[in-house]
Every structure is written in structure tokens, then in C-alpha cells.
Amino acid sequence: MGVTIRKYTGEDIPVMMDIWNAVVDEGEAFPQADMLSESGAKSFFGSQSYCGVAEDDGKLVGLYILHPNNVGRCAHIANASFAVNSGCRGKGIGEQLVRDCMVQARELGFRILQFNAVVEDNLAAIHLYEKIGFRQIGRVCEGFQAKNGEYKDILLYYSEL
């Protein structure tokens, strides 16, 4: 059957929380340092403009969150984060999530999708974003503190929708 991307439902939240928290716990990609609780996850995912999930033969294996990057005169710029179960990485699921995110962002009226904090050694994400056509538009030196305390540069990526 393969991987399908769909809008999340409330029933997905416990698995979404587990996938999200695993990436947070790795301490190498997301800026968050605190794990989501079940009530926190419900609120967090519910506050997004859109959440998509990747399902592989009935099992949730990835997700994305989509929301405005800013307010008012900059509210046409979207921001998103992506998470794939560690055992399912390298199978093209991330690409499916990013491409679906771009479609959903356009449908919601966003004109630009910007990633604010791609850690410089997240080579899989960098390769994927550039493959899809995102352009690197900046670098913040030592803008990310990894779980081990090391500071790493973060890259900003941009694509018109």
C-alpha cells in the first residue's frame, strides 16, 4: 500500500507526540528542549494552521506542522517543522511530507515557506530542501545549541509557493 499523507486527527496525537518527543530528545534538529505532555501535545498540534501525518500501512511514521512565520504584514510567510520516526528515515517520507506541506500552505493562502533553523549538519534535510528547490538565504553562526552543549550554525531556507 505504501506511504500516504493526510491531515491529522485527535486519535493521532499520542503517536505524533512520541515521534515529536523523540526528535526533541535527540537534541540535534529541533530548538525545543522540553518534551510535550499529552495535554501539551493536544494544544500544540491543535494550534497549528495544519498538521499532516505520514502513514505507512496503517502505522504513523512521520508528521509536519505548518503555521505562520510571523503576523500582520508578514503573515503570508509560512514556517514548518518535520519529524520522521528514526526507524523510517531514508525512505523518502520526509520528501512526501515537505511536498504535501507546500501544497497545504498554498491552499491556506501562504505565498512563501521559510525554514528558520536548519542545523548545519542536518545534511539529509539540507539535501532534501535543495533538491525540492529551496534556497539558502542566510546563516546564524552558533544559533543552535545541541543536546551535548555544542553550538552549531543554523541555516535559513526559503521557497516561493
**Contact of 95 with 103, CB cutoff 8 Å:** no
* Per-residue DSSP letter, 22: H
The grid coordinates listed for 113 are 515557506
For 81-87, what is the mean pLDDT? 94
Q: Does residue 30 sit in helix, strand or coil? A: coil
Looking at the domain assignment, is residue 56 inside a domain?
yes
Per-residue pLDDT, 77 = 98
Asked if the structure places residue 48 within a domain, the reply is: yes
Q: Check which CATH number belongs to the domain holding 61 and give it.
A: 3.40.630.30
Is 133 within the bounds of a domain?
no
Looking at the domain assignment, is residue 140 inside a domain? no
Separation of alpha carbons 126 and 140, rounded Å: 15
For residue 52, is it within any domain? yes
**What SS3 state is found at 151?**
strand
Confidence of residue 1 (pLDDT cuts 50, 70, 90): low
Give domain status of residue 159, yes or no: no
pLDDT of residue 60: 97
pLDDT tens digits, 101-155: 999 999 999 999 999 999 999 999 999 999 999 999 999 999 999 999 999 999 9
Range of the domain at 111: 3-115
d(CA 98, CA 101): 5
What pLDDT, on the 0 to 100 scale, is given for residue 2? 87
Q: What is the reported pTM?
A: 0.94
Number of domains in the chain: 1
Distance, in Å, from the CA atom of 29 to the CA atom of 23, rounded to the nearest integer, reads 7
